[in-house]
Structure 1
């Protein structure tokens, strides 16, 4: 029995509507309580030694599959005349104030918690990768084991238990500092008040809540430098 194009798309629309409704029902309340925390991170690039302890601890803590990364330290060799220097660029989800990954999700699987942490509801995610394409920081991927969108969550399960994110706890040089940006007495707030900080790709106006100390302007966007020492995923160059 043939089905008209009109009836087919009518049924498809109803099905998608049901998916969106289910996703909305599974999504927690997003309004921040008065005086609640707004979590963020400060990265002191002068303290990062590129050891990848953060990368490894994140993989172990969050069961990240092979050749995928929720956080990583890109390492670059920069030359100026006869001089050469190494630059370390820790990278992760920026948990933006205006996350471009959220409005493109057709089922509401990506959302922002009241404390600012951007997470993915895996039960609702359909693996369409729209959010992966929308993220300007290359901080998302499709988990090839679950076929769901995956990303850094600031180790929300640890934060909820009063612990630090795994990458912060394992950082050898103390380059990653995590805390409440709404608390003027927190270490992250004091660091930002006392130092000049920068964010990646400021022209995107996403309001990143990962701030960098001591980062050269040349590394705020696409990096024009030679990646070196260690490469994620079969030697492919990591672009910021």
Structure 2
């Protein structure tokens, strides 16, 4: 039944795109006013040890199939000369953009920004697997889930942990507290305090996407050989 509904949406989408592609592209760029929270994440690279506890927890909690991943920790290095060598660990996941290229190109509304949380999500029921969002994502973090056959990615555990009033799985699993999650609209939140306490950066800000995943840059020597 679910596949039949998706097939119907896919066929209908193809007809509409053929008839009025410009109309879809134009309407999909309309922004959504966020009246609720504005959830964001900080990855402190100075604390990250590359243990992958976060990605393992993400897979288990969100039932992510083998072969694909919502979250990866990429290892760079070693840098420097022995014995003063070090590695850098960076997080690769959805950047939860405020200006969302993936939402703009989605012809069915499957990719959307939740007005209550500001979280960019995917409605798998509406997704027809056209992969427009995958092509549009400048961070290359979206994928087709081999089980649902819909686009998938990190959504800060919106449908799992957040529904239970808990922190995202990756945040809870991190043994070094390298991850901080919270509401940017709350001036007393831990994430706002962390962002005010240390210099930070975001990826590809020159594209105007305004990502809500912040990074505290790693320093030489936090992991040595």
- Encode CA deviations 1:116-158: one digit per residue, 9 max, x unaligned: 1000011110011111111111211011222110000100022
Q: Counterpart of 2:85 in 1: which secondary structure?
A: strand
Residue matched to 1:70: 70
CA-based RMSD of the aligned residues comes to 2.3
Residue matched to 1:175: 178
Residue matched to 1:207: 210
Determine if contact 1:198/1:215 at 8 Å carries over to the other structure. no
Determine if contact 1:75/1:87 at 8 Å carries over to the other structure. yes
TM-score (normalised: structure 1)? 0.75
Q: Which has the higher contact order (CA 8 A, sep 6+)?
A: 2
TM-score (normalised: structure 2)? 0.80
d(CA) in 1 for partners of 2:200 and 2:61? 29
Q: Counterpart of 1:184 in 2: which secondary structure?
A: coil
73 and 145 in structure 1: CA distance in 2 versus 1, 3 angstrom threshold: same
How far residue 31 of structure 1 moved from its aligned partner, in angstroms, is: 4.1
202 and 15 in structure 1: CA distance in 2 versus 1, 3 angstrom threshold: closer
How far residue 214 of structure 1 moved from its aligned partner, in angstroms, is: 2.0
How far residue 14 of structure 1 moved from its aligned partner, in angstroms, is: 9.0
1:98-117 equivalent positions in 2, closer than 5 A: 98-114=99-115, 115-117=117-119
- Encode CA deviations 1:48-86: one digit per residue, 9 max, x unaligned: 110101111100011111111101111111434665321
Q: Counterpart of 1:197 in 2: which secondary structure?
A: coil
d(CA) in 2 for partners of 1:187 and 1:90? 20
Q: Counterpart of 1:144 in 2: which secondary structure?
A: coil
- Encode CA deviations 1:167-202: one digit per residue, 9 max, x unaligned: 101011110100111001101001112221100112
Which sections of structure 1, spanning at least 5 residues, go unmatched?
1-10, 25-29, 217-240
Does 2:183 correspond to 1:166? no
Which sections of structure 2, spanning at least 5 residues, go unmatched?
1-13, 220-225
Which of 131, 144, 151 is the matching residue for 1:129? 131
Task: Give the length in aligned residue pairs.
Answer: 195
- Encode CA deviations 1:82-124: one digit per residue, 9 max, x unaligned: 6532111122111111011111111111000011100001111
d(CA) in 1 for partners of 2:17 and 2:38? 37
155 and 14 in structure 1: CA distance in 2 versus 1, 3 angstrom threshold: closer
Q: Highest Rg: 1 or 2?
A: 1
Residue matched to 2:122: 120
1:200-239 equivalent positions in 2, closer than 5 A: 200-215=203-218
Which of 146, 151, 154 is the matching residue for 1:152? 154
d(CA) in 1 for partners of 2:48 and 2:218? 11
d(CA) in 2 for partners of 1:72 and 1:13? 36
Q: Counterpart of 1:190 in 2: which secondary structure?
A: helix
Residue matched to 2:37: 37
